[in-house]
Structure 1
């Protein structure tokens, strides 16, 4: 039987040791991001195909490029914690608004519930981001 042993420092080269454990919230955060990547362009397609296509790389690039030091392993452009939170709120808003604009009511309600759970689970991380990411 193979036993996996975590090496100290493996995969967490630049994450802060006092950062709250967000394994569960990261699942909901990623699910919300996926929904935003689909719902926002879907809703924008009726307005402008160019906006719909542009929305996808914009929604993916923002949290990839801009992050608070200590929050991710790789920081391309360091920003204060409040900016990281604003980017997440933008993702949440894109998911909810896109779902309500383009999908049936039951799907939009499900997305709204997903975002509500993600928001509650994000609160400890956001408090930490506000404290360290100044």
Structure 2
């Protein structure tokens, strides 16, 4: 099964990831600067280290099955939505929530491919 063209999904996913990277430490900083820093390390570090072979032009240091990559994307989406509601005005959180919902829809084909790749491997 060939990897689907996901340029639109990739742009939406990356936008949501950036929002998670900004909003999560912003939401955590008033409670603990250590958690704020740790959140950035987790949100950026885990997807950099753990990747499904064939999913990206570069492979991470640790190959993982497709469901792990899906879980990492879901972590980013959840972090973006929850953190935006905690840290930002409601109108911004609504926009982030809508973006995350659209991202879920556009990710569907890639996720099917990631899960099908698990069956082949």
Please report the TM-score for the alignment, with normalisation by the length of structure 2: 0.94
**Bigger Cα Rg:** 1
- Residue of 49, 52, 59 corresponding to 2:36: 52
Specify every segment of 5 or more residues in structure 2 that has no aligned partner in the other structure, as ranges.
Answer: none
Deviation at 1:72, TM superposition (A): 1.2
SS of alignment partner, residue 93 of structure 1:
helix
- Residue of 8, 13, 17 corresponding to 1:24: 8
Alignment size in residue pairs: 118
CA RMSD of aligned residues (A): 1.1
Deviation at 1:70, TM superposition (A): 1.0
Displaced runs of 4 or more, over 4 A: none
Counterpart for residue 127 of structure 1? 112
Specify every segment of 5 or more residues in structure 1 that has no aligned partner in the other structure, as ranges.
Answer: 1-16
Q: Higher helix fraction: Structure 1 or Structure 2?
A: 2
Q: Could you give the per-residue CA deviations for residues 10-45 of structure 1, whole angstroms, max 9, x where no partner exists? A: xxxxxxx81000000000000000000000101111
- Residue of 111, 117, 122 corresponding to 2:96: 111
Deviation at 1:99, TM superposition (A): 0.2
